[in-house]
Amino acid sequence: MIMLWRFLRWLPVVIGGVFAAVQIQFASEYATSSPQQGAGAALALAYVVIPYCVARALSEMMTAEDFQRIVGDRSLRQLSKAEFDLLRDDPVEAGSLANPPLS
């Protein structure tokens, strides 16, 4: 589930990159002046930068929340290698280990 979320979060960036490549191609072929080429290049850049900023913000928000919830007051140096690797690879599973169910 985590991998699907990561894939879906970054998919718009990849699609924006494809649109940007097409936009650059059209701008270089069909523009009749330098300002038109510049506008085409700026639009192509926006196709990539805006989705990247949103995806990156989502990544950082999820990482910060998960880190605070799982690690708490401990620093990264106090985590064992296994805990750190699990936190990096699967924060949901790491959260269940940090807060085990009551029996």
Print the domain residue range for 26: 2-98
The residues, any chain, with a CB within 8 Å of residue 20's CB and separated by 6 or more, are: 44, 45, 47, 48
The answer to the question of residue 76 being in a domain is yes
Q: Considering its fold, how many domains does the chain have in total?
A: 1
Tell which wins on pLDDT, 41 or 99. 41
The answer to the question of residue 86 being in a domain is yes
Return the pLDDT at 76.
Answer: 56
Neighbours of 48 (CB within 10 A): 20
Task: Please compute the mean of the pLDDT values over residues 20-37 and round it to a whole number.
Answer: 93
The answer to the question of residue 32 being in a domain is yes
The answer to the question of residue 103 being in a domain is no
**pLDDT bracket for residue 10 (50, 70, 90):** confident
Nearest by Cα to 36 from 45, 44, 27: 27
